[in-house]
């Protein structure tokens, strides 16, 4: 397995082009199952997660054609199998989102339950309740969901008891081909939902209100092919914004939108770095003055993204004072804490709250990535640590960050990948 070595101390100066959003791309790929015509996706990130999903879709009957640049064409003239095996769903949780489209297109499906994940229990009960409300009969046996809709899917009023990005997307993906009107209330408002709705509407769906807490979908009989550019990856943009604030220097993030990471940018400014919001991105600047500790509470969009919590914690390890970071989305999302402490950070966790007491220096060490966002927090800490930080289990990082060492390296970071033996793997 590969490792990433970072020698800390270099400032970052330059430009980083942000890729298309992983969390949107994988739902858009699932949407390609809904039509027998080609779906052309541009601004596609090239990641382990998109490859895993491509493998699953190929088994289901999709021709996945990765063109040069960032374009992928997905074409499913016919569903040849409605079976998503454990091995493939386990490798990437979002594979579970093929369930609804398979039922919508063929009337039945057998899809493995995704199982646990390192950042908490992550159940799929809300997904299944939504599919049942839309007319699917669901049985669970031996870790598999057996679903049937012998009389087809029909629109329904679905009120989510709490906000779930995955369940809202899954319900939307399924309801577009259901008969009649579906109303999703207490829906997630994350920008990736709006992106999915835009793409589905280009395919001929009738989705209104995506990006608000009430989404209305008028079912259509058939969807067609379309061309769609994947929305910018706000988590990748936020990650490099934090990296620039940590290392110091001046970094311009392009092909992205400041408004999508406003909650983070405000915190970076409060901590003492400078933020310049541009039309096509954002500039982060820090001249070397020590940052101040600030508190953070994660929340649903437009709140502070849980996917940026680990990175921000890394930033706070060297700030002046004590920062309190509260995680409200996933109960177990502090796996990076012991690893950051190995680098000399002073963090204690109690329940859903981490207290970060800023230290004067971090010192490079061997650390291990535990999940996707946690692993990049270790890279960020390594940028400011003295000496060499060696991050193991880099496959986590490869799931969600495209050419990370290249992008950071181009700005002057001393980061290199050390190729290792053994297969790539993914979780979550």
Between 102 and 124, CB nearer to ligand UD1: 124
Give the pairing of strands 414-418 and 388-392: unpaired
Q: How far is the CB of 54 from ligand UD1 (least distance, A)?
A: 15
The Cα 337–Cα 319 span in angstroms is 16
Between 28 and 149, CB nearer to ligand UD1: 28
Footprint of ligand UD1 (CB under 6 A): 23, 94, 120-127, 164-167, 306-307, 329-330
Between 304 and 393, CB nearer to ligand UD1: 304
Give the pairing of strands 181-185 and 214-218: antiparallel
Residue 235 preceded by cis peptide, ω within 30: no
Q: How far is the CB of 24 from ligand UD1 (least distance, A)?
A: 8
Tokens 């709250």 correspond to 353
Q: How far is the CB of 69 from ligand UD1 (least distance, A)?
A: 24
- Tell me the catalytic residues: 117
3-state DSSP assignment of residue 173: helix
Please state, in angstroms and as integers, the Cα–Cα distance from residue 221 to each residue in 25, 35, 203, following that order: 24, 11, 12
Q: How far is the CB of 72 from ligand UD1 (least distance, A)?
A: 17
Q: Tokens for 13?
A: 């100066």
Q: How far is the CB of 359 from ligand UD1 (least distance, A)?
A: 28
The CA angle 25-28-31, to the nearest 5 degrees, is: 155
Q: How far is the CB of 15 from ligand UD1 (least distance, A)?
A: 26
Between 4 and 329, CB nearer to ligand UD1: 329
Element containing residue 60 per DSSP (H, E) = helix 48-60
Between 74 and 310, CB nearer to ligand UD1: 310
Q: How far is the CB of 240 from ligand UD1 (least distance, A)?
A: 17
| 49-82 CB burial, b ≥16 within 10 A, e <16 | bbbbbbebbeebbbebeeeeebebbbbbeebeeb
Tokens 């053994």 correspond to 422
| Residue 229: Cβ-neighbour burial (10 angstroms; 0-12, 13-18, 19+) | middle
Whether the CB-CB separation of 152 and 134 falls below 8 Å is answered with no
Please name every residue paired with 212 in a beta bridge, in sequence order, or none if there are none.
210
Q: How far is the CB of 161 from ligand UD1 (least distance, A)?
A: 9
Query: Among all residues, whose Cβ is closest to ligand UD1?
Result: 166
E-only strand ranges, 271-340: 274-277, 281-286, 296-297, 322-326
Between 44 and 126, CB nearer to ligand UD1: 126
The Cα 47–Cα 245 span in angstroms is 25
* Cβ-proximal residues to 279 (8 Å cutoff; 6+ apart), any chain: none
The Cα 384–Cα 381 span in angstroms is 6
Whether the CB-CB separation of 9 and 386 falls below 8 Å is answered with yes
Q: Tokens for 382?
A: 């390594």
Between 12 and 165, CB nearer to ligand UD1: 165
* Cβ-proximal residues to 416 (8 Å cutoff; 6+ apart), any chain: 4, 5, 405, 409
Tokens 């990856």 correspond to 233
Between 124 and 294, CB nearer to ligand UD1: 124
């Amino acid at each position: 397995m590969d490792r990433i070595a970072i020698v800390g101390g270099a400032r970052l100066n330059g430009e980083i082009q942000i890729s298309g959003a992983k969390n949107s791309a994988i739902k858009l790929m699932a949407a390609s199952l809904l039509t027998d015509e080609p779906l052309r996706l541009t601004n596609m990130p090239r990641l382990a997660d998109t490859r895993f999903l491509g493998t699953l879709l190929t088994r289901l009957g999709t021709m996945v054609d990765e063109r040069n640049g960032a374009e992928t064409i997905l074409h499913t003239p016919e569903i040849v199998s409605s079976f998503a095996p454990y091995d493939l769903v386990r490798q990437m949780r979002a594979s579970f989102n093929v369930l609804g489209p398979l039922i919508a297109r063929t009337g039945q499906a057998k899809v493995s339950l995704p199982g646990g994940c390192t950042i908490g229990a992550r159940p799929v009960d809300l997904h299944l309740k939504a599919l049942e409300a839309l007319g699917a009969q669901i049985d669970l046996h031996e870790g598999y969901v057996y679903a049937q809709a012998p009389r087809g899917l029909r629109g329904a009023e679905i009120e989510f008891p709490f906000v779930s990005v995955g369940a809202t997307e899954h319900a939307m993906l399924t309801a577009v081909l259901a008969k009649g009107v579906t109303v999703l209330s207490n829906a997630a408002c994350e920008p990736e939902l709006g992106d999915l709705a835009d793409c589905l509407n280009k395919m001929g769906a009738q989705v209104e209100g995506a990006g608000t807490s009430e989404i209305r979908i008028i079912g259509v009989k058939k969807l067609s092919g379309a061309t769609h550019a994947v929305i910018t990856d706000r988590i990748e943009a936020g990650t490099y914004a934090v990296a620039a604030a940590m290392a110091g220097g001046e970094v311009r993030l392009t092909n992205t939108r400041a408004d999508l990471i406003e909650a983070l940018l405000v915190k970076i400014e409060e901590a003492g770095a400078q933020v310049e919001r541009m039309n096509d991105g954002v500039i982060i600047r820090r001249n070397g003055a020590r940052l101040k500790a600030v508190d953070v509470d994660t929340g649903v969009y437009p709140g502070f993204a849980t996917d940026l919590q680990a990175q921000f914690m890394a930033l706070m390890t060297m700030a002046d004072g004590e920062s309190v970071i509260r995680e409200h989305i996933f109960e177990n999302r502090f796996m990076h804490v012991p690893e950051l402490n190995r680098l000399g950070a002073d963090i204690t966790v109690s329940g859903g709250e981490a207290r970060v007491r800023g230290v004067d220096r971090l010192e490079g060490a061997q650390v291990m990535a535990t999940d996707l966002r946690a692993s990049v927090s270790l890279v960020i800490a390594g940028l400011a640590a003295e000496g060499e930080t060696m991050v193991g289990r880099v496959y986590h990082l490869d799931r969600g960050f495209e050419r990370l060492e290249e992008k950071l390296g181009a700005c002057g970071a001393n980061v290199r990948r050390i190729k290792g033996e053994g297969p790539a793997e993914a979780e979550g």
